[in-house]
């Protein structure tokens, strides 16, 4: 009796649904295996909130990527203007320094759809668009760097154990003991002053901000990954890989790493919104990005004008809140999709 020869013929008697039992049938071939990742994505696709949030995030991403094109299409730019050309420069009267066109005192001006900033006369829309780019660029790069560092540290310390683990854990704990905000406040101006020559000031500032955020962002990933590796290491499939004679590098990257997708995706989903918020927060305190457009900086500038010109504050504020909210809710949905036990 050979399987190939007799396989299909004997099927009928065994099942009430013989057509599905046939291993060679069309259905069986179409239903190819679903990895846990695919299952999670499938769950995510059915989640309406997740889809909405993803659309919002994609919108901001597009704005950030095509900032130049969009600004050109609206005919706005970051260029500094002579303030008194667009602002009311009469210092003796009330409404000092408010724009001559558009909000808050004049009707909508299509040349400046978001209005103009008081005191400087800068275009709000241009600042908003480039602020979005700054925000996502910094948050994205910081997330990337801290994930890579965190994953490597977590993998190594979890898998090797012993002295290496002790040293890496001490470093992780050390960085966790440093209050992030204070450290960022202290370090960022120093780095900027140190390396910021006048022509590349803006790039240096953004770079140093990314560095600082990454410097204080990797520990949670490292801890998460380490914990996960410690529990995975005791799973029998890792023993099986050892018994098969798999080299350690292969075990780390082929056996362990694929099982870390969930914690990695989860920590990215937590980091991205946190970094967007942190970037804006530092700028709000006057210590983050000051050389180029940033939502946080605009918010700080707009607070004194709140009573007369609330729109000036609302624009960047809604930008930050919408982006952070969408990222957070999406992250929450992602976490649910990967771990159905924590379902709300």
Q: Answer whether the bond into residue 25 is a cis peptide, omega within 30°.
A: no
How far apart are CB 16 and other proteins at their closest, in Å? 6
Q: In terms of CB distance, is 123 or 279 closer to other proteins? A: 279
The pair of structure tokens assigned to 251 is: 């075990």
Per CB under 8 A, the segment of 93-101, 115-123, 150-158, 185-193 that binds other proteins is 185-193
Smallest gap from Cβ 95 to other proteins, in A, equals 18
Residue with token string 């309406």 = 48
Q: Exactly one of 190, 200, 203, 253 binds other proteins (CB under 8 A); which one?
A: 190
Residues 270, 264: Cα–Cα separation, whole Å: 10
Q: Alpha-carbon distance 220 to 175, whole Å?
A: 10
Paired residues of 123 in beta bridges: 116
Return the closest-CA partner of residue 254 out of 238, 234, 230. 238
Which residue number, 112 or 279, has a Cβ lying nearer to other proteins?
A: 279
Q: Which of 122, 221, 265, 320 binds other proteins (CB under 8 A)?
A: 320
28 lines the binding site for other proteins (CB under 8 A): yes
**Burial group, residue 276, by CB count within 10 angstroms (0-12, 13-18, 19+):** buried
Q: Is residue 317 a contact point for other proteins (CB under 8 A)?
A: yes
CB of 109 to other proteins, least distance (A): 25
Segment contacting other proteins by CB under 8 A, of 65-73, 96-104, 173-181, 218-226: 173-181
Decide whether 76 or 241 has the Cβ nearer to other proteins.
241
Q: Note whether 311 binds other proteins by CB under 8 A.
A: no
**Site for other proteins, residues 32 to 91, rule: CB under 8 A:** 32-37, 39
| Token code pair at residue 188 | 């960022």
In angstroms, the CA 151 to CA 172 distance is: 12
**What distance in Å separates the CA atoms of residue 110 and residue 76, rounded to the nearest whole number?**
10
- Cβ atoms within 10 Å of 123's Cβ, excluding its own: 25
- Closest distance to other proteins from the beta carbon of 152 (Å): 19
Cα 335 from Cα 262, distance rounded (Å): 8
The rounded distance, in Å, linking the Cα atoms of 226 and 230 is 6
At its nearest, how many Å lie between other proteins and the CB of residue 285? 6
Q: Is 11 in the site for other proteins (CB under 8 A)?
A: yes
Q: Which of 73, 92, 163, 244 binds other proteins (CB under 8 A)?
A: 244
Contact between 255 and other proteins by CB under 8 A: the answer reads: yes
* 3-class state of residue 193 by DSSP: helix
Q: Which stretch binds other proteins (CB under 8 A): 9-17, 117-125, 151-159, 209-217?
A: 9-17
Q: Identify the sign of the CA torsion 161, 163, 169, 172.
A: negative
Binding piece for other proteins, criterion CB under 8 A, among 2-10, 62-70, 90-98, 155-163: 2-10
Q: How far is the CB of 36 from other proteins (least distance, A)?
A: 6
Question: 217 to 236, contacts with other proteins by CB under 8 A?
Answer: 235-236
- Contact flag: residue 240 with other proteins (CB under 8 A): yes
Backbone angles phi, psi at 216, to 5 degrees: -110, 15
Phi/psi of residue 243, nearest 5 degrees: -60, -30
* Nearest alpha carbon to residue 333 among 52, 143, 34, 141: 52
Task: Give the nearer residue to other proteins in terms of CB position, either 75 or 179.
Answer: 179
How far is it, in rounded angstroms, from Cα 276 to Cα 316? 13
Quote the least distance from Cβ 268 to other proteins, whole Å.
Answer: 16
Quick note: the x/- pattern for other proteins over 264-283, rule CB under 8 A, is ---------x---x--xx--
Residue 114 interacts with other proteins (CB under 8 A): yes or no: no
* Cβ(247)–Cβ(216) below 8 Å: no
Q: Is 161 in the site for other proteins (CB under 8 A)?
A: no
């Amino acid at each position: 009796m050979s399987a190939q020869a007799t396989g299909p013929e004997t099927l009928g008697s065994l099942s009430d649904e013989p057509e599905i039992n046939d291993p060679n049938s069309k259905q069986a071939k179409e239903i190819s295996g679903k990895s846990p990742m695919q299952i999670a994505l499938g769950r995510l696709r059915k989640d309406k909130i997740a889809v909405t949030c993803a659309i919002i995030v994609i919108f901001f991403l597009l704005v950030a990527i095509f900032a130049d094109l969009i600004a050109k299409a609206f005919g706005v730019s970051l260029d500094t203007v002579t303030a008194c050309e667009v602002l009311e420069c009469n210092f003796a009267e009330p409404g000092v320094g408010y724009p001559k066109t558009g909000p808050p005192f004049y009707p909508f001006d299509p040349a400046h759809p978001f209005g103009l900033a008081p005191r400087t006369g800068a275009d709000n829309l241009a600042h908003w668009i480039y602020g979005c780019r700054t925000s996502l660029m910094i948050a994205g790069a910081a997330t990337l760097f801290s994930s890579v560092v965190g994953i490597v540290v977590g993998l190594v310390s979890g898998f090797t154990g012993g002295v290496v683990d002790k040293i890496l854990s001490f470093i992780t704990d050390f960085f966790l003991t440093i209050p992030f905000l204070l450290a960022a406040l202290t370090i960022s101006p120093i780095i900027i002053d140190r390396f910021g020559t006048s022509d590349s000031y803006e790039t240096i500032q953004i770079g140093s901000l990314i560095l600082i955020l990454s410097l204080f962002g990797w520990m949670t990933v490292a801890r998460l990954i380490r914990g996960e590796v410690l529990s995975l290491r005791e799973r029998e499939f890792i023993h099986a890989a050892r018994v098969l004679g798999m080299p350690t590098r292969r075990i780390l990257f082929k056996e362990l790493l694929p099982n870390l997708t969930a914690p990695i995706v989860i920590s990215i989903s937590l980091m991205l919104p946190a970094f967007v918020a942190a970037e804006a927060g530092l700028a709000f305190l006057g210590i983050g990005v000051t050389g180029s457009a940033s939502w946080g900086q605009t918010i700080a500038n707009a607070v004194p004008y709140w009573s007369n010109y609330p729109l000036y504050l609302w624009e960047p504020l809604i930008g930050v809140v919408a982006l952070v909210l969408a990222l957070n809710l999406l992250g929450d949905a992602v976490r649910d999709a990967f771990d159905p036990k924590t379902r709300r």
